[in-house]
Amino acid sequence: MRRRLLNWVLGVGSVVAFVGALVMVFLYAPREATMGEIQRIFYFHVASAWVGFFGFFITFVSGALFLARSERRWDILGLSSAEVGLAFITMVLITGSLWARPVWGTFWTWEPRLTISAVQWLLYVAYVMLRTSTTSQERVARFAAVYGIVAFVTVPLSWFAIRWWRTIHPQILAGGEMALTPRMLQTLLVSLAAFTLVYATLVRQRVHLEEARDRLAGLQAG
C-alpha cells in the first residue's frame, strides 16, 4: 500500500514538475540575445546531463556497496541507475548536436568535452550489454560493480574538461560567476528538479522490474 502510494506520488509529481518546467522554458525564460530561440534547448540539455551524471554516481556508489556487502539490492540499483542514466546521456548527445548545428555550424566536433561524452556513452552502452551476459549472475554482478566504479571516472573528467582544456563548449559557471539572468536561472533550477524527479520515478520502476524478474526466476528454478 505504502509502495503504491509512493509510486503514485512520484509519478504524478514528475509529470507536474516536467510540464511546469516546459511552460517555464517556453513562456517564462527570456529570449537569449545572441543565439535566439535555439538557446532554449539549454535548460533540458543541462538537466539531462545532470541526471545522467547523477545516475552514474548512484551506479558508482551501488557498485562499492555491492562489493562490500554482496547484497543483490545494490546490484539491482546500480543496473537500474546506469540504464536510466544512459538514456539521459543519449538525449544530451543528440540535443547537444541539434543545438550545435545552428550555433557552431556543425552537428559534431571532436573537442574535449564532446569527445569525453562520446567515450562515456560507449562505456555505459558496454555496461548495459555486459549485464545481458549469460554467465553466472554473481560473477556478472561483481564485474559490473567494478566496471561501474571505473567508468565513473568519465563524469568528473567531463565536468572539468571545459575548465582544463581549450574548448568551444559553453560554460554556465565561469570564474565563479553565473552567466544567466535570474529568470534563466529559475527556469534551469525547476528543470533540474523536474528531471531529478523523473529519474527517481524511472529508477524505482526499473528496480521493481528487476525484483519481479528475480521472483520469477526463483519460481522457475524451484
Partner 1 sequence: MPIYLVLAYVIFCGVPLGLWVSIAWRRRVIGKQLEQHAMPGEALVLDTNVERIRG
Judged by CB under 8 A, the residue of 73, 90, 108, 109 near partner 1 is 90
Judged by CB under 8 A, the residue of 23, 68, 98, 146 near partner 1 is 98
Q: Which CB sits closer to partner 1, 12 or 98? A: 98
Binding mask 13-52 for partner 1 (x = CB under 8 A): -----x---x-------------xxx-xx--xx--x----
Q: Which CB sits closer to partner 1, 21 or 149? A: 21
Does 102 bind partner 1 (CB under 8 A)? Our answer is yes
- Residues touching partner 1: how many (CB under 8 A)? 34
- Which letter does DSSP use for residue 181 in this model? -
| Site for partner 1, rule CB under 8 A | 18, 22, 36-38, 40-41, 44-45, 48, 84, 87-88, 90-91, 94-95, 98-99, 101-102, 198, 201-202, 205-206, 208-209, 212-213, 215-216, 219-220
